[in-house]
Amino acid sequence: MTIHRNISLKPYNTFGIDAVADAMADCHTTSELANTVRTLQGRSVVVGGGSNILFLGDFHGTVIRPLLYGIEVTDITDRHVDIRVGAGVVWDGLVAMCVANGWSGIENLSYIPGRVGAAPVQNVGAYGAEAADVIRFVNAISTDTGAPLRLSADECMFGYRRSIFKHQLKGKAIVTSIEMRLATSFAPNLDYGPVRAAVEQYGRPTLANIRRAIIDIRRAKLPEPDDKGSAGSFFKNPEISEAQADALLRSHPDMPTYKLANGMVKVPAGWLIEQAGWKGRRQGNAGVHDRQALIIVNHGSATGTEIMALAEHICADVRQKFGISLDMEVVIV
């Protein structure tokens, strides 16, 4: 284990916020992680790739980084392959490896930043797929005792950008590895938005072509973390009642809506933010991305509180214009 004192978090969060942590513990094994939580005093936060976190200011406590690597095949048949993947593995490296091996299930999740340990936390999703489609078990340790925990997919209570790790187990479990079942026989998932057309440009819908197409779509729409700081979508797409959606559609007939199985109606937060006039706008060093209104960007030296002030301003405007409260997808620390 390596402990760093008074360390700048700027290289460890994709927003590029220059906050300082009292300490950072880099844990390379599960037992180092367990020892860390058993002996830790004061506050702590787990950080993977820092691509879904906003530090509001300096962190007076310990940042724990579970740098647990390794990808292990635990079962393989002519239909599926089961793998166990360490929490510290870079998510997109895992996707690339699965595509190269002909293992299907996460190719639509190509190019999402971050590490494997965070994937079940917010149930990462994109282009018609989500981590919950393939996760069978999540292994973790308890932050109270350091004891191992093993949760089945059902126990993880996955939903849209949520899981038990964001609710009942928030701050109580550190993911050490995930176990996934991928298909060795390939069924392309092309029905979401522009995916089919983008894949056709490359020819047959092979795993490699889907990955290339998804990366193209994402590069055209999203800021590159090395270019402009962000944490991807800042807000979740809100779910409203059918009655509220009907009322809004009378005054905004072009509002996109998606009916959900639970009777609620999902509205794209990006559309609401754009209609509230925020797309491409800037407030100090923080701003709204000019191609994707769901993304707040750091134009250079924004502080966490500047980013947060902009987010709150956007929320207030959307609430006033549409009567809809936006929830944040990004974890505020």
Ligand X SMILES: Cc1cc2nc3c(=O)[nH]c(=O)nc-3n(C[C@H](O)[C@H](O)[C@H](O)COP(=O)(O)OP(=O)(O)OC[C@H]3O[C@@H](n4cnc5c(N)ncnc54)[C@H](O)[C@@H]3O)c2cc1C
Question: b/e string for 16-26 if b means 16 or more Cβ within 10 A?
Answer: bbbbebbbbbb
Give the integer Cα–Cα distance in Å for 118 and 139: 12
Give the integer Cα–Cα distance in Å for 277 and 275: 5
The answer to the question of residue 44 lying near ligand X (CB under 6 A) is no
Q: How far is the CB of 72 from ligand X (least distance, A)?
A: 17
Question: b/e string for 37-71 if b means 16 or more Cβ within 10 A?
Answer: beebeeebebbbbbbbbbbeeebebbbbbbbbeee
Name residues contacting ligand X, limited to 84-113 (CB under 6 A). Answer: 87, 112-113
Q: Which of 34, 47, 81, 83 binds ligand X (CB under 6 A)?
A: 47
Q: How far is the CB of 245 from ligand X (least distance, A)?
A: 24
Contact 141, 174 (CB under 8 A): yes
Angle at 168 between CA 163 and CA 169, to 5 degrees: 80
Binding mask 228-247 for ligand X (x = CB under 6 A): --xxx---------------
Residue number, 230 or 245, with CB nearest to ligand X: 230
Q: Which of 16, 105, 125, 238 binds ligand X (CB under 6 A)?
A: 125
Number of residues that bind ligand X (CB under 6 A): 34
Q: Which of 16, 86, 105, 114 binds ligand X (CB under 6 A)?
A: 114
Residue number, 37 or 248, with CB nearest to ligand X: 37
Q: Which of 23, 121, 265, 308 binds ligand X (CB under 6 A)?
A: 121
Which of 237, 240, 230 lies closest to 264 in space, CA to CA? 240
Catalytic one of 107, 179, 306, 329: 329
The number of beta carbons lying within 10 Å of the beta carbon of residue 100 is 11
Q: How far is the CB of 285 from ligand X (least distance, A)?
A: 17
- 329 belongs to the catalytic site: yes
Check residue 82 and report its DSSP letter: E
Which of 164, 146, 140 lies closest to 87 in space, CA to CA? 140
Give the integer Cα–Cα distance in Å for 332 and 62: 16
- 8 belongs to the catalytic site: no
- 233 belongs to the catalytic site: yes
Catalytic one of 115, 161, 181, 211: 161
Catalytic one of 51, 65, 233, 306: 233
Residues that bind ligand X (CB under 6 A): 14, 45-53, 66, 87, 112-115, 117-119, 121-122, 124-126, 165, 174-175, 222-223, 225, 230-232, 331
**Mind telling me the catalytic residues?**
161, 233, 329
